[in-house]
Structures are given as C-alpha cells and as structure tokens.
Amino acid sequence: MATIIGTTYYPYDKRHTHFAQFVLGLCLEWGIMVGSAGMGVPAPWRDLSTSSLVAASVVWVVIFDTIYAHQDLADDLRVGCQEHGHAVCGYWGGMGAPYYAITVGGCVVSVGSMIALVDLTDPASCWTWFSRGFWPTGAAIAAGLLVEYGWQRMAGDGLRL
C-alpha cells in the first residue's frame, strides 16, 4: 500500500515539496523491505542490514535523480516546480562564487579525504577521524560563509536570506 500511495503521489510532489527525489527513492527502494519480508526477515524495518541497504539505496536515487533533474532545471523554475537542490544550496540565499568555491568545494575535499583516509580496520584511525574529522568541514563552511558575507557587503548586495 505504501508503494501505491508514494508512486501515485510522486508525479505531483514537485508542486508540494523540495524533496521529490527522496520520495522517488522511498518508492523505488521500498521493494527492499518487501523483498526482505518475503525472504523471511522478521520486521525488516528493524533489521540493521535491511535498513542500511534501504538508506544507501535512497541516497543513491537522490544523487542520480538530482543529476537527471538538472536537465530541465530552467523549465522547472519557470513553471514553479520545486527541487531539493534549491532548498539545500546557496541559490536561494543569493550565494556567489566564494560560497561555492570555499564552502561546497571545501566540504567535498574534507569529507572525501576523510572517506579516503580513514582506516576502518584500525580503531585509532576511526577515533582520530571521529574526534577531529569534523573540524575541516566546519572550517570550510564557516570560512565560505564568512568570505561570501564580506564579498556581498563589499559589493553592497546584502544576503537574501
């Protein structure tokens, strides 16, 4: 029943929410729960491996459908459709190049480095990245926002928050 409701709602959800890709992900990946139940997994929503697979699959759908949706971004904006990318990016805040270069670029580099460098088989490495790994990402966010603020103040634009 959940799949039927979600699949019926999905074509219209861009008019109501910025998270159409998330709705699509839940619709497509609900089959993992159904399949797990069919394989005899009791209460698959409580099973960590099943829930992890669903979460990872939903993230995957959000990523690839976001890329797909950008093909007609201009048309979506013109007719008033909403995209989650609009809700979570600097576009609505009127952010410019400093924000994207420092904040977004810095986050990509810091999180990518953490993923590449952490040794999941070494507890000391895990602790190091857990206890200190947030600093570069936080610094990138703070620096990008601060530089963007200064950039817009100098230009006299002011932030559109």
pLDDT digits (tens, 9 = 90+) for 94-139: 778 888 889 888 888 988 898 889 898 898 998 898 888 889 988 9
**Residue 10 buriedness (CB in 10 A; 0-12 / 13-18 / 19+):** middle
Q: Mean per-residue pLDDT for 77-97? A: 65
Angle, vertex CA 50, rays to CA 47 and CA 53, nearest 5? 145
Residue 87 near residue 18 (C-beta atoms within 8 A) = yes
CA 45 – CA 41 distance, rounded (Å):
9
Residue 51 near residue 73 (C-beta atoms within 8 A) = no
Structure tokens at 17: 């929410």
The predicted model scores a pTM of 0.50
**Residue 25 buriedness (CB in 10 A; 0-12 / 13-18 / 19+):** buried
Instruction: Provide the pLDDT for residue 10.
Output: 74
pLDDT level of residue 17 (50, 70, 90 thresholds): confident
Residue 12 near residue 19 (C-beta atoms within 8 A) = no
Residue 68 vs residues 10, 61, 63, 72, 79: alpha-carbon distances, Å: 15, 10, 9, 8, 18
Is the pLDDT assigned to residue 147 strictly greater than 60?
yes
pLDDT level of residue 27 (50, 70, 90 thresholds): confident
- Of 76-80, 113-117, 153-157, which gets the smallest average pLDDT? 76-80
Structure tokens at 20: 């159409």
pLDDT level of residue 143 (50, 70, 90 thresholds): very high
What mean pLDDT is reported for the chain? 79
